[in-house]
Amino acid sequence: MKSIPISIVSTILLIGCINADGKNLLEDDIVASTEYGAISKDQFLDELSSRYGNEVITELILENILSNKFEITEKEIDDKITEITNVFSADIDEVLEIKQYDSLTDFEEFIRFNMLLEKAAKESFVVDEEELLNYYESLDDEIRVSTIFVENYSTAEELVEYIKDGQDFGKLAEDYSLDMTAENKGDLGWINRGETDKEFEDVAYELKVGETSGIVNSIDGYHIIKLTEKRGKEPLNVIREELTEHLFIQTLENEGFYPLVAKSLNREEITLFEDSLEFELHKYINSDE
């Protein structure tokens, strides 16, 4: 289900309250007018309902049920926002603009709802043992890399020369890198194949420990990579939880939240007073239990 903007949900729920002039819309049937005529509250609500009504009600139903099954703390929301701002290498105001949210409150509600979906999906996820074993066997040796990321090629060229002249990679990463690894002197940590961009990891795996790459193209700019450590993969029982999490995320990317969320919900928990909602709802809630 496409997530409906919080602003639309709020409009549908609150349109009967106060308009921009402070008038109660229950007492004033006109929401807008032009020289060619007026738009009534009923017209407006009918249009909103026809476009978004079933999806909005379904989302509200899911949120109502999941909020009582799972808890999302303020710390979890704050941590997720920090994670998102790090990914975008931007402050929260820039993220809100990128994501096209009018307020932090709206964005927090969006995050909260998606975290509820994720918890419901994770509760229902059962890893396939054969798939887990195959994934483990496909893993290469783990490598630890540091990186400097910049947006323009000329800066990358300068950095390559600085490194050749013996300047410290970590200090250069702190001073020049534009991603979140700058805080850790460029350290990206341990990675395996399939966890980063293919071009990035192909270059990284060709390096010898202590060796630095040339300029590596990425979608948003240019990387310079240094291989700092290499080790064989850990035993399956040690990294089983990590691999299960990877397969869970892969399932979400391929199938979305709702096939898994549906397994944790029961149609009998819901009473509908509008027959048209049944078609929308049955796509997201298990009715076979």
Residue 49: predicted pLDDT: 75
pLDDT of residue 265: 75
**How many H helices and E strands in the chain?**
13, 6
What are the tens digits of pLDDT across the range 123-156? 999 999 999 999 999 888 899 999 999 999 999 9
What is the pTM for the complete model shown?
A: 0.62
Pure H helices in 125-232: 129-138, 153-164, 169-176, 198-206
Domains 6-124+257-281 and 140-231 agree in fold: no
Instruction: Output DSSP code: residue 27.
Output: T
Residues 6+ apart with CB under 8 A from 265: 62, 65, 120, 284, 285, 286
**Which among 67, 157, 159, 154 has a CA at the least distance from the CA of 109?**
67
Report pLDDT for 289: 43
User: At the topology level of CATH, where does 140-231 sit?
Assistant: Chitinase A; domain 3 (3.10.50)
Q: Residue 188 has what pLDDT? A: 94
Taking 50 as the pLDDT cut, the residues of the chain under it are: 1-2, 6, 12-27, 287, 289
In this structure, whether the domain defined by 6-124+257-281 belongs to CATH 3.40.390 is answered with no
Task: Determine the 3-state secondary structure of 34 from DSSP.
Answer: strand
Which pairs count as long-range contacts for 86-95, CB under 8 Å and 24+ apart, including other chains?
86/180, 87/180, 89/178, 89/179, 89/180
User: Would you list the domain boundaries of the chain?
Assistant: 6-124+257-281, 140-231
Q: How far apart are CA 23 and CA 20, in angstroms?
A: 7
Query: Is 286:260 a contact under the CB 8 Å cutoff?
Result: no
Specify the amino acid at residue 88.
F
